[in-house]
Amino acid sequence: MGKTLDNKLKFQDPFKTLKGEERASVDMGELKTLWFNTGTLCNLECQNCYIESSPKNDRLLYLTKDDVLPYIKEIEENSLPVELIGITGGEPFLNPNIINIIETILRAGHKALVLTNAYKVISRWDKKLLTLNQLFPDKLFLRVSLDHFTKEVHEKERGYNTFLPTLESIGWLISKSFNVSIAGRFLQSESYTEALDGFKSLFKKHEVPLSLSEDNLVLFPEMDSKNLNTPEITTSCWSILGKGPESLMCSSERMVVKPKGQNKTKVQACTLIPYNKEFELGESLSESSKKVFLNHPFCSSFCVLGGSSCSSTY
Ligand code: SF4
Ligand code: SF4
């Protein structure tokens, strides 16, 4: 059997790999981070967007405040130990309800981390964001994607003329005292330290007043989300790799989505697999508190072998 055929046959049976070994799984522990995907539409169309967002992709619809409220209520009623509520997309600031959603989360006493590309659209909400930041200065966090410290690499991924406007937007947010962190990438040819130094020099050159460190610069390794040629993960991988299932996002995080055509919110196992029914765990948080079988190439390439996840560090 050829390699290509092998790859197509992998990740089929939830419980067994193609070789018939027991597939690895992750038990749900305590829910620490709850994500809301506020919709997959995006003003950019990045080459390696794992969720395939674009100005046309509306497979996940815009959430409303009423979609978010039942989950906030469930957290309160069951005293779930949620430490952070994350908001992701697409570009969350395209969603016309975004301020209401953020405000609902903050008023319920949660910390909110909003992932944004900070490219133009965010400025529609400048005044309202300033007000929210004045009211909740210790609870509102923004994480801006600046793909790389060079204009060339950033724009190859994110599109022509996206680099400087994003950098200006970051400068504005910091000058107005928002809690900002940066998400970027380091290339296979670079070390983490080289990338960190590159980002530091960039910010210095453009007078962006943020002192970068490992705490506020999250750097992900270069990944090819379209390459599905990755090994399946079996139960024996944990000891071989010296890694435990509790280190994966699906052991302590969940993501709420509203799939097009269903008009109901659902809870997915993690932020990385937003469309796959097999990773849809129910409609409520209690229903979603179940074991996840690592039956997707991203489980292998991003999480177990790649050392990358949509980290909720803020
Ligand atoms: S900005 Fe983010 S969500 Fe939008 S296309 Fe790029 S990676 Fe995807
Ligand atoms: S992609 Fe990662 S976080 Fe998501 S289900 Fe697979 S292993 Fe878990």
**CATH code given to domain 29-226+249-291:** 3.20.20.70
Structure tokens at 125: 């909400």
Over residues 256-271, the mean pLDDT reads 96
Structure tokens at 194: 């080289």
Any atom of ligand 2 within 6 Å of the Cβ of 51 = no
User: Which range (11-15, 56-60, 226-230, 288-292) has the least confidence?
Assistant: 226-230
H/E run at residue 255: strand 253-257
Any atom of ligand 2 within 6 Å of the Cβ of 298 = yes
Q: Which residues contact 121 (CB under 8 A, 6 or more apart)?
A: 43, 91, 93, 94
Any atom of ligand 1 within 6 Å of the Cβ of 91 = yes
Q: What is the pLDDT of residue 1?
A: 44
Separation of alpha carbons 51 and 88, rounded Å: 11
**Confidence category of residue 220, pLDDT binned at 50, 70, 90:** confident
> Closest by alpha carbon to 87, among 68, 70, 73, 69?
68
From the CA of 291, the nearest ligand is 2
Tell me the pTM.
0.94
Any atom of ligand 2 within 6 Å of the Cβ of 281 = no
Q: Are 184 and 216 in contact (CB under 8 A)?
A: no
Q: Which residues contact 154 (CB under 8 A, 6 or more apart)?
A: 146, 147, 148, 162, 163, 166
From the CA of 183, the nearest ligand is 1
Task: Flag whether pLDDT at 309 surpasses 60.
Answer: no
Per DSSP, the three-state class of 157 is: helix
Give tens-digit pLDDT for 16-40. 999 999 999 999 999 999 999 999 9
Residue with tokens 């953020």: 102
Residue 62 C-alpha to ligand 2 middle, in angstroms?
23
Structure tokens at 288: 């979603």
From residue 286, alpha-carbon distances to 31, 87, 151, 184, 310 in Å are: 10, 20, 45, 34, 22
Q: What is the pLDDT of residue 4?
A: 55
From the CA of 37, the nearest ligand is 1
Q: What is the pLDDT of residue 159?
A: 95
Q: What is the pLDDT of residue 192?
A: 87
Residue percentage of the chain with pLDDT more than 90 = 85
250 Rama class: left (phi>0) / alpha (psi -120 to 50) / beta: alpha
> Closest by alpha carbon to 172, among 112, 115, 129?
129
What is the residue type of 230? T
H/E run at residue 68: helix 65-77
Give tens-digit pLDDT for 172-184. 999 999 999 999 9
Structure tokens at 216: 């506020």
**Torsion sign over Cα 49, 52, 56, 61:** negative
* DSSP class of 300: I
Per DSSP, the three-state class of 266 is: strand
Any atom of ligand 2 within 6 Å of the Cβ of 270 = yes
Residue 249 C-alpha to ligand 2 middle, in angstroms?
6
B/e letters for 51-74, b = 16+ CB within 10 Å, e = fewer, are bbbbeebebbbbbbbebbeebbeb
Q: What is the pLDDT of residue 311?
A: 41
Phi, psi of 54 (to 5 degrees): -170, 175
